[in-house]
Amino acid sequence: MKSGRVVLLLLLCWNVANFAVIAAAPQTCPANLQGQCGESEEWKGEFFPGIPKIKYEGPNSKNHLAFKWYNAEEVILGKKMKDWMRFSVAFWHTFRGTGGDPFGGPTKFWPWEDGTNSVAMAKRRMRANFEFLNKIGVDYWCFHDRDIAPEGDTLKESNEYLDEVVALAKELQGSKIKPLWGTAQLFVQPRYMHGAATSSELGVYAYAAAQVKKAMDVTNYLGGENYVFWGGREGYQTLLNTDMERELNHLASFFHSAVAYKKKIGFNGTLLIEPKPQEPTKHQYDWDAATAANFLRKYGLLGEFKLNIECNHATLSGHSCHHELETARINGLLGNIDANTGDPQVGWDTDQFLTDISEATMVMLSVIRNGGIAPGGFNFDAKLRRESTDVEDIFIAHIVGMDTLARGLRSAAKLVEEGSLTELVRKRYESFDSEIGKKIEAGDADLEFLEKKALEWGEPKVPSAKQELAEMLFQSAL
């Protein structure tokens, strides 16, 4: 009996000492699925203690937690790599993505999550977000209002929750980090099942306007450089019950109201429309870059908006990302790029990290021709695969995405500096460099004049387009 008491006493002393050591240790949120975070909303521990600040180590590095191609301070074509890229982390995919899909529930249970959507949990996620930004070396982040703060029972309560979380974000940002863009989530809540700005219900239209007003306020308060409109439900499932003309008119009125409010509050950021052809609607009104440009032109909104081109949306609309970027660029509308890609074997928006060097090079050719993309940038609107469940996978995915675009920039710069592809394109159109060609391009050649020249010249000689040579020159730069 006495020996039993001695053992019990020793166990109690060991527990007291153990708790003393734990209490004295710095708070951390272990980067593994067995770790548990404290319940306090003021949790200030380290969320990624086993992961260092990501550094550039060069192409020969075998360290999967290092950049091989992205060297932020390196100058390419007269501009630092970080200034060409202006990388941004998407809060919704990175810190709200669960791995769930229509056929299965969540697979990601990050150690800092407590299973709730409380304000306390929202603050904890925000702290994790800024630790990640600092460790990955990215100065921008993007958000939807309802991603960063929970929705309340009333609009007033939702705004109060948002204000509380945004106040913390402002504190954590410091002077270096800011949103690349903010936006309002107008597609998840059931009230938006018929759309937001294109809803058949006046009350929904007004609610959406109030939500956008608040989202613009907080984006401005946080120093955001752009504000995005993605109309996931601004479209239709069937025209049988849809007044498309009226819905488009309502959407234009909504955008004009946003422009007016932007000017009223002194928001100097760019307003962006993000085209997408479908999903979740059968037809979305801003189908692609050309459709969105025509909408802006028709409704007198050119000069007030630019486009946020997402590569996966481009392929869903039947285009390459390069096509959409060039369409936006030549119309003076290229404002931002959501950097992701889709799977060619899958017909929906898979939001994968871009890893194709050829695609990245074509993307960067458009950015170089545009003279850069500021005040826009590259937002990683991309998510881990359902089967990727380690915390370090968040870092690995962003590293490979950043390295891929950095390789694309290097390859595009090589093409520009070497000049052979540029010269091939110039020579293809050199007949228009003649006096008559210049007259045509100036709009000074009428049909009678051109008929006279056609009769004078006879059958034209048509040279080779040299497509295979163009592809050879392109591939040689990769």
Catalytic residues: 144
Two tokens, residue 416: 């520009």
Q: Which helix (H) or strand (E) holds 255?
A: helix 244-265
* Tokens 């392929």 belong to residue: 315
Is the distance from CB of 128 to CB of 150 less than 8 angstroms? no
Distance CA 277, CA 475 (A): 31
Nearest to 274 by CA among 288, 295, 255, 261: 288
Torsion angle of C-alpha atoms 146, 147, 153, 155, degrees rounded to 10: -20
Q: How far apart are CA 183 and CA 213, in angstroms?
A: 10
Report d(CA 169, CA 190) in Å as an integer. 28
Give CA–CA dist 328/311, Å, rounded: 13
Q: Measure CA of the first residue to CA of the last residue in the chain; give whole Å.
A: 78
**CB of 185 closer than 8 Å to CB of 230:** no
For the residues of 8-70, what is the DSSP string, one character each?
HHHHHHHHHHHHHHHHHSPPB--SSTT----S-TT---BS-TT-----B--TT---TTSBSS-
Separation of alpha carbons 430 and 439, rounded Å: 14
Q: Which amino acid is at 392?
A: E
CB contact burial 249-288 (16+ within 10 A = b; e otherwise): ebbbebbeebeeebeeeebebbbbbbbbbbeebeebbbbb
Instruction: Kindly provide the residue ranges of all beta strands, DSSP E only, lying in 321-411, ordered along the sequence.
Output: 334-338, 378-380
Q: Which of 66, 16, 130, 44 is nearest to 392 (CA)?
A: 66
Q: Are 314 and 323 in contact (CB under 8 A)?
A: yes
How many residues in the chain?
Answer: 478
Q: How many other C-beta atoms lie within 10 A of the C-beta of residue 426?
A: 11
Tokens of 406: 């950095």
